Chain A
Amino acid sequence: MNRFVDLAKNPLLISSVAILALLVIGELVSPGFARGDQIVRLLTVSAILGIAAAGQNLVILGGREGIDLSIGAVISLGAVIAGNVMNGSDAAIPLAFAAACCAGFLIGLVNGLGVTYLRIPPLVMTLGMMGVIQGGLVVLSRGVPSGNAAPALMAFVNRSAFLGIPGILFVWAAIVVLMALMLKRTRFGWSIYAIGSNENAAVLTGLPARRIRVLLYGLAGLFGGFTGVCVIGYTGNSFISVGDQYVLPSVIAVVIGGTSLSGGAGSYTGTALGAIALILLQSVLTTLNLEFWGRQVIFGVTLLLLMLLYGRQARLRV
């Protein structure tokens, strides 16, 4: 019985069941919803959210109320940088990825330094950073969309690379595998869980908790910049608020995937499933003709319900 209850509370299982249920509901409401090419389409959108959520996942796992609200602005920045670097040229794609990722990484490091060394609460630090980037983007672009995606990048996101599956899904799959290996099999991964679980104890086993946390915010920025390039590949051109829509969903995907908001427990595999479930939910709601505001309400309610459900897991006290 107990074992059954444990299983019923397993986030991976909950997410998987939710995904299947949403597919069935979608198919019932609108036949063709669960067709192969539709699923690939949904997975592609999920991949973009999932890559953004990887960064969010890391800072949340690291504890101390870790969260990155600047991730949307970093995505926008990455998209604008990539668009201007490429300007339609395939040859500049590697440079676009490098520039966007570097910019994101540096911004993330600043977030991390503020959070660890200046002791600014992550919510405030990253919210402030979001404002700074958004303002900076308006000044730099003068509010006019500029730059556009190279054809090969758009193909990478939108067209089949192999067996009808676009390249970005292979990249995402690789990220899922690498994140799982990193978190489970490396000292860096264990360190993330350790500082998220009990920073003081982690320090007393010799782990450099502050440096690790700075790096986590840096990586969150890097994933944000990477996501920005994918976004411009998806949409073709960039505008300066293109990333805003990813802020709340990136947090929700992490929570659906079973990562504790207080840090120290969770997995990226869960987050990836969470991202898929969330995109499916969004699609079903769109199919039901719910407007943007209605979806926001459902997102918020989903987040609260899940926190309620996971929060009730008996946490073993030491």
Chain B
Amino acid sequence: MQPVLRASDISKSFGAVRALDKARLTVERGEIHALLGANGCGKSTLCKIIAGTVGRDTGEVLIDGKAAALGSPRLAEAEGVALFYQELSLVPQLSVGENIFLGREPRERLGFTDRAAIARETEALIARVAAVAGKGFTPDARVADLTPDQRQLAEILKVLARQPKIIIFDEATATLDRRQVEVFFDILRELKAEGVSSIFISHRMDEVFAIADRITVMRNGQTVAEFAATETDRYAVVYAMVGETGAIAASVRDHRPLEGDARLVVEGARAARLGPVSFTARCGEILGLGGLQGQGQKALLAGLFGAEPFQSGHVSLDGVDVTAGRPADAMAHRIAYVSGDRGRDSALPGRSIFENTAIASLVRERRHVIPGALFRERFADVLAGLNTRYAGLDAPIGSLSGGNQQKVFISRWLSPAPGLLLLDDPTKGIDLGAKGDFYLLARKLADEGATVIIYSSEDSELLSLCDRVLVLNGGAITADLTGDRLTPFELTRASYGDAA
């Protein structure tokens, strides 16, 4: 039997970045197919190409053996490909039926919406998932009145109403709890029984092995392995994701032995999507927070700084309680925070470089009058020390490049030097030169006695910079990697919930 989808030699570049390099993907009819790979491996781009939201440069996509026209989402839909959106797409004030047929309502002769047809067809759709529908899930039920499980079901029915052959679920389970995932899997099995194929992207290894029939692994834009789920194991999959070099090569960092006592002690820190977590860090240590995106790393940093205070737990630094209720508390204890989302968390647009850099010092030093000359000299020195390129302190912040802006924002915290520096994906979207300056700065501050905690969305950054990496998964610390265990292989393995 020919596969329902066969994509071969798919290449795609965004500017100079080659996202896909002759990638391929084959999905059989009625199969649940897991697509795996590290962040940025190209799996999302491949799915977008198949769903018609992104065009391909080269390559061929066959659906049921015929070349498919995928120029737009609408064309892809006509070919039988549907992309499932987690939440976002339902209108709470409308009924289940109205939501499912939103924008393509069946019409009566006079052009009015044919409500009877909506009710009839929705009824038929619900019958297909009757096993998991639950009480009160009728075509007339208002979406706002549904349980979260039922809303998720309505989303899936919305996709099913288009009678797709292939449904792409891109991280569809990321925001679901364990029980919701079970319901979701029941639906997937239901679809499978009807001959509908699913492409399933997940970052949870146990989910993949619980549901997938076959697994395709991508790395650096290429398809590197295909497995039947029953004939492989987690180790082999992680190995394929990381690649031979990454798995074998020991880290080339100069490992510095971690000496001395813990000076930062975090006990039972808990926030909305975090914890409770406990850990310690030493003087001079660069501690990385690893793991997949959104596992509580940002919540941990925001909690330590008091930007979003912990619900419970204690933090002490050098024996002093520094549990912060607001940023000013943390700042009083020489704790600094630099976010990678400069536009949202750092920039004062329209204000001068001088204001953008000196503002935090006014709070820390409890000054009410601005010591113009003193501060100008001080921050000109700090910015020069970071190799910042700028026209003058009175130029607007927006006149700088991303990397130079980030140097301005970190310079807020450098005079006097911080005791604990919290970095939240600080090099996101900045150029390589500025990144290098940043790494040097972090190391220099640590050598001078600061403790640095950094979250990065790039594993390579953590591996090259950190003395130790805590891996977070679902808001808990699942691995503590140092020394010989701080390798790409171990980090990837721990990130995907496969801690040794």
Contacts and interface: CB of A to CB of B under 8 A. Distances in A.
Interface of A: 185-188, 190, 193-194, 197-198, 200-208, 260, 264-265, 315-318
Given A316-B349, A316-B350, A318-B398, A205 B360 contact: yes
Contact of A194 (B328, B359, B369, B399): B359
Contacts of A265: 350-351
B370 A187 contact: yes
B478 interface: no
A185 B364 CA distance: 17
In order of increasing CB-CB distance, the 3 nearest A-B pairs are: A316-B398, A206-B363, A318-B347
B348 A193 contact: yes
A283 to B, nearest CB: 34
B399 A200 contact: no
Contacts of A208: 326, 328
B345 A204 contact: yes
B347 A198 contact: yes
A207 B358 CA distance: 13
A200 B345 CA distance: 6
B184 interface: no
Contact of B339 (A187, A193, A204, A316): A204
Given A185-B369, A187-B367, A316-B399, A204 B327 contact: yes
Contacts of A203: 307, 327
A186 B370 contact: yes
Nearest to B397: A318
Please indicate which of the listed interface residues A187, A207, A208 has the most CB atoms of chain B within 10 Å of its own CB: A187
Contact of B307 (A198, A204, A260, A264): A204
B363 A318 contact: no
Contacts of A188: 368
B372 interface: yes
Interface string B394-411: 001111000001000000
B339 A197 contact: no
29 contacts: A186-B369, A187-B370, A193-B348, A193-B351, A194-B351, A194-B355, A194-B359, A197-B349, A197-B351, A198-B344, A200-B344, A201-B347, A201-B348, A202-B348, A203-B327, A204-B327, A204-B346, A205-B363, A206-B326, A206-B327, A206-B331, A206-B364, A260-B350, A264-B348, A264-B349, A264-B351, A315-B349, A318-B342, A318-B347
Given A185-B372, A201-B345, A264 B350 contact: yes
A193 B360 CA distance: 14
Contact of A190 (B337, B355, B397, B399): B355
Contact of B350 (A197, A200, A207): A197
A119 B343 CA distance: 23
Nearest to B302: A204
A10 to B, nearest CB: 14
Contacts of B331: 206
Chain B facing A: main interface SS: helix
Given A198-B344, A202-B348, A203-B307, 6 more contacts: A187-B363, A194-B351, A204-B339, A205-B359, A264-B351, A318-B342
B412 interface: yes
A187 B347 contact: no
Please indicate which of the listed interface residues B348, B351, B355, B405 has the most CB atoms of chain A within 10 Å of its own CB: B348
A198 B348 contact: yes
A316 B352 CA distance: 12
Contact residues on B (Cβ < 8 Å of other chain), bracket: 35 or more
Given A204-B337, A318-B405, A193 B368 contact: no
Interface of B: 305, 307, 326-328, 331, 337, 339, 342-351, 355, 359-360, 362-364, 367-370, 372, 396-399, 405, 412
Nearest to A315: B350
A119 B263 CA distance: 41
A260 B349 CA distance: 12
B349 A318 contact: yes
B360 A206 contact: yes
A207 B362 CA distance: 10
A294 B331 CA distance: 56
A207 B339 contact: no
Given A193-B355, A206-B327, A187 B368 contact: yes
Nearest to A314: B398
Contacts of B351: 193-194, 197, 264-265
A264 B346 CA distance: 15
Contacts of A315: 349-350, 398
B403 to A, nearest CB: 13
Contacts of A187: 362-363, 367-370
Contacts of A206: 326-328, 331, 360, 363-364
A201 B346 contact: yes
B348 A197 contact: yes
A318 B348 CA distance: 9
B12 to A, nearest CB: 28
A281 B486 CA distance: 73
A264 B368 CA distance: 19
Please indicate which of the listed interface residues B326, B350, B370 has the most CB atoms of chain A within 10 Å of its own CB: B350
A316 B369 contact: no
Contacts of A200: 344-345
Nearest to B405: A318
Nearest to A264: B350
A201 B327 CA distance: 11
B412 A205 contact: yes
Contacts of B346: 201, 204
B121 to A, nearest CB: 42
Nearest to A197: B348
B15 to A, nearest CB: 20
A316 B398 CA distance: 5
Given A207-B363, A316-B398, A194 B350 contact: no
B396 A316 contact: yes
Contacts of A260: 350
Contacts of A198: 344, 347-349
A207 B359 CA distance: 9
Please indicate which of the listed interface residues A186, A208, A318 has the most CB atoms of chain B within 10 Å of its own CB: A318
A316 B351 CA distance: 10
A188 B398 CA distance: 23
A267 to B, nearest CB: 13
Given A185-B370, A208-B328, A316-B399, A190 B362 contact: yes
Contacts of A201: 344-348
A204 B424 CA distance: 13
Contacts of B342: 318
A196 to B, nearest CB: 9
Please indicate which of the listed interface residues A200, A205, A207, A208 has the most CB atoms of chain B within 10 Å of its own CB: A205
A201 B398 CA distance: 15
A193 B397 CA distance: 14
Please indicate which of the listed interface residues A197, A201, A202 has the most CB atoms of chain B within 10 Å of its own CB: A201
Please indicate which of the listed interface residues B307, B345, B367 has the most CB atoms of chain A within 10 Å of its own CB: B345
A315 B369 CA distance: 29
